Amino acid sequence: MEKSQTKVALVGNLGDRYLIKFPNLKIPVSVNKNLYLKMQNSDMYNFVDLTKKQCQKSKSA
């Protein structure tokens, strides 16, 4: 049984912490650089470009 990838987005960073936006959470999750790099190389997460999605929403509005 194959699970689908979770779409996440890099929102920004605060010092040495990276803010990751998950689809079902209202606030981003803060992770360190090591975990961020593991997530990028993992098959479980699909990093999407948040700016493109925001631009598409504003065009359709």
Task: Give pLDDT tens digits for 1-39.
Answer: 578 899 999 999 999 999 999 999 999 999 999 999 999
Q: Is residue 18 part of a domain?
A: yes
Residue 61 lies in a domain: no
Number of folded domains that form the chain: 1
Please give the pLDDT value at position 33: 95
Q: Which domain holds residue 27?
A: 6-49
- Count CB-CB contacts under 10 A for residue 27: 9
Output the pTM of the full model.
0.74
Q: Judging by DSSP bridges, how do beta strands 6-14 and 29-32 pair with one another?
A: unpaired
Do residues 30 and 18 lie in contact, with contact meaning Cβ atoms separated by under 8 Å? yes
| CA–CA gap between residue 56 and residue 7 (Å, rounded) | 17
Q: Where are the alpha helices (DSSP H) in the chain?
A: 33-41, 50-60
* Residue 56 confidence (pLDDT) above 50: no
60 lies in some domain: no
